[in-house]
Amino acid sequence: MKKVSIRGVVYASEQALPRDSNIIFRREGGSSSRVGSIKSIFQLSYPTPAGPIADDTFLLVQQYSPFMDQEIQFTYTQFGFAGGFLCYSRKWSGFHIIGSEGVICHFAKTTLQQYGGDLMHVLPLNKVTINPPSSISIVIPNCLNR
């Protein structure tokens, strides 16, 4: 597959749409997030113990190597998840096959020339949908009439 929609957001392989292939993900059973690029997307059909056939989507992700200098990293991580963090832009630490539930979000990739020129800033891009129940009224104050 060239692309897939996960929780209403389109993710694509690096060959199809390079910008939509940059993801923050979590391996099954893992608690820490990782950064990578989707190399391939595929669907697998298999029988379940209960009998019916299940269809699941999987992604082959190449992981970027994390940047380990904590003093420089703190420039970004002091702001939490919203501040992003640094990774190597041309160093890889392996491949992972993850299920679609392992995808956290896209990230914006900005290469840096400092610290040897092989770094990138990773800024998480979360897409949030707010659908309030019909019984809740949202009031936006009119600040222009003051």
Query: What pLDDT, on a 0 to 100 scale, did the predictor assign at position 122?
Result: 92
User: Which tens digits make up the pLDDT trace of 54-77?
Assistant: 889 999 999 999 888 888 888 878
Q: How many domains does the chain have?
A: 1
User: Which tens digits make up the pLDDT trace of 104-124?
Assistant: 999 999 888 777 668 899 999
Instruction: Measure the CA–CA gap between 44 and 56, rounded to whole angstroms.
Output: 5
Sign (positive or negative) of CA dihedral 102, 17, 89, 39: positive
Instruction: Measure the CA–CA gap between 103 and 62, rounded to whole angstroms.
Output: 13
User: Which tens digits make up the pLDDT trace of 13-56?
Assistant: 999 998 899 999 998 877 788 999 999 999 998 888 888 888 89
Domain assignment of residue 26, given as a range? 3-145
Query: What pLDDT, on a 0 to 100 scale, did the predictor assign at position 36?
Result: 96
Residue 60 CA neighbour count, 13 Å, CB half: 12
